[in-house]
Amino acid sequence: MASKIVYNENLQKLNTFKVEASAEAFLAINSIDELEILFSEISKYNEKLVIGGGSNLLFAGDYSGLVIYPQLFGIEKTNETQDNIYLRVAASENWHDFVTACLKNNYFGIENLALIPGTVGAAPVQNIGAYGVEIERFIESVECFDLQENEHIIFNHSECEFAYRESRLKNAGQGRYLVCYVNFILNKIATPVLSYAPLKKLSEDLARNQKEATPKNVYDWVCKLRKEKLPDPFVLANAGSFFKNPTVSSDKFVKLKNQFPNIVGYPDKSDEKIKVAAGWLIDNAGLKGKRVGNVAIHEQQALVLVNFGEMQGSKILDLACDVMQKIKSLYGIVLEPEVRVLGIDLAERSKLIK
């Protein structure tokens, strides 16, 4: 049976914050052909949102537009060389399950990204990253459906315009490009990445026991760290890291270091910039564990906002704004949300990031 657009759809089960919100219109699809068939109906909506796992969204109110919920599955090996494996992966595949399957098949490189919630299709949009690895390193191209032009389009790596937690698909392409498949190039030769600070203990332990690091070591260690520090969204509603790590000039960081000797920062890709750990800023400001009603800053990870049963996403947004105001007044740094905030008008949204 062909899919059809339905109205006033409840989105509570499709966002990991578990807040109540409704979509003006909603379309679940099982094939890209359905998008072509329904293009004239889809085109009636100026605002469009593609939802995968719903793990990087906060609905601060109802969504005035069309929500598209793709259900596209499948993993295909497209090429293989002595050193690399090429995989074409459908957008709705679970990300962590994909990472696990790659490790079992001796396809390496993305083990540092284990246990990140969400789908494969969301990975290039957000340019997900963790423990010293960003996914863009392993993406050859992204196959999309252009919801504006009613055509299939493939963006090669450079055309994706990847940056820190950003991409062409997230910025100008938000609501226009629906990710259908992601083409990955993974390694057949293991080269574990242990440079990120939380993995140094693993490196030290292995060296002490005269053992070589393996992708399985890294995968297990990352899973252990994430389970210890980050709440499971299926147990305690959250959307992972709510804020990006801000970038400041080297001069600004020196001044901050003089005032706060223990501040945590590391060089950005630009030698002139320093990326500051947002979690440290929030923790040092005494905000970790702060609770207002049924929403709170997690007790173990200051970057994560958690929901103990609040139905209004606006209450979570209020707490986020309180955090941002405190950080700005204390350090002179403006935090930006990593989570996409929806259901508020542009004027209200602009207040969030200024």
The catalytic residue positions are 165, 241, 338
The 3-state DSSP class for residue 79 equals strand
- Please give the angle made by the CA atoms of 286, 292 and 295, to the nearest 5 degrees: 100
The CA distance from 42 to 178, in Å, is: 12
The tokens for 12 are 């509570």
Q: Give how far the C-alpha of residue 335 lies from the chain's centroid of Cα atoms, to the nearest Å.
A: 16
The CA distance from 155 to 143, in Å, is: 6
Contacts made by residues 324-327, CB under 8 angstroms, sequence distance 24+:
324/243, 324/352, 326/285, 326/287, 327/278, 327/281, 327/282, 327/285
Residue indicated by tokens 């309180």: 322
Residues 6+ apart with CB under 8 A from 198: 131, 225
Burial of 346 (0-12, 13-18, 19+ CB in 10 A): exposed
